[in-house]
Amino acid sequence: MNEPYRQILGVRFFVGDAKGAVELGLQGGLVVVPSAPVLLAMKEDASTAAALVCSDLAITDSGLMVLLWRLMRGEKLTRVSGLEYLKLLLEEHCLREPGALFWVMPSEATLEKSLCWLRQEGFPTTREDCYLAPFYGGGEIADPALLEIINTRKPAHIIMAVGGGVQEKLAHYLKKGAHYRPGIHCTGAAIGFLSGDQARIPDWADRYFLGWLMRCLQAPGRFIPRYWAARKLVALMLKYGERSPASETRL
């Protein structure tokens, strides 16, 4: 493969390895790791489409997308999961400097477990380095209080641990409103797999695209409907291929 990028559904995906993705992510900008449900949302939600299309780095986290691309185009793409990306990112020494990392958390329980794990791993992270996100609802997202904190503290990197479909839009809002260029990494529940807040995903399961199965076994009522709906990605990719399903929507 000559070029490390492929355009899929209008999104410019990096198709190199995880180490290369982290090297790019460390340079700053918006990093998205879209799952199949988030890719599906592009068709109806212009805010989601804008966040993905305008990202600085998009990672091939969706195993279904990678498999479909291979079936459709006969091209085997490298898959880099959000979990693998976050693991490698947190190995970078520059992220261990006080104030270098800022976390946007979805709940008090996730915040507490993540703080505990980060401290055990030697990160100087405090509660002041975290923000407990409110419920945002649908459509466009804005959070002036969070944006003010970011522009005041100026962390080098912001880890978005809120759910997919929300984190991308919130991160896009922060990118546009920040007075500098932080790295904004939309890795969602990945920190939960490390801290124990979510069911741990073995390396072999992540490698063979089975993270979705681990989550379904842990919380079937929550995740089985979500991943069943993801089957619609087949029709979306067959119809649009490289084109954005929101191509007629103003981004």
Domain boundaries along the sequence of the chain: 5-240
- How far is Cα 236 from Cα 38, in angstroms, rounded to an integer? 12
pLDDT band at 139 (very low <50, low <70, confident <90, very high): confident
Query: How is residue 143 written in tokens?
Result: 């959070």
Q: In terms of residues, how long is the chain?
A: 251
Query: How is residue 48 written in tokens?
Result: 């989601």
C-alpha to C-alpha distances, 248 to 8, 10, 43, 58, 168, nearest whole angstrom = 16, 12, 10, 21, 20
- How far is Cα 195 from Cα 198, in angstroms, rounded to an integer? 8
Please write the tens of the pLDDT for every residue from 81-107: 999 999 999 999 999 999 999 999 999
- Pair 51, 170: CB distance under 8 Å: no
Strands 57-59 and 11-14, by their bridges, are parallel
Please write the tens of the pLDDT for every residue from 210-230: 555 555 556 665 666 666 566
C-alpha to C-alpha distances, 214 to 95, 125, 142, 164, 204, nearest whole angstrom = 29, 29, 33, 17, 11
Question: Tell me, what's the pLDDT at 250?
Answer: 47
Q: What is the DSSP letter of 1?
A: -
For residue 85, the tally of other CB atoms under 10 A from its CB is: 23
DSSP string, 85-145: HHHHHTT-GGGGSTTSEEEEES-HHHHHHHHHHHHHTT----GGGEEE-----SSS---HH
Give yes or no for residue 251 having a pLDDT over 50.
no
Please write the tens of the pLDDT for every residue from 186-212: 998 889 888 876 656 666 555 655 555
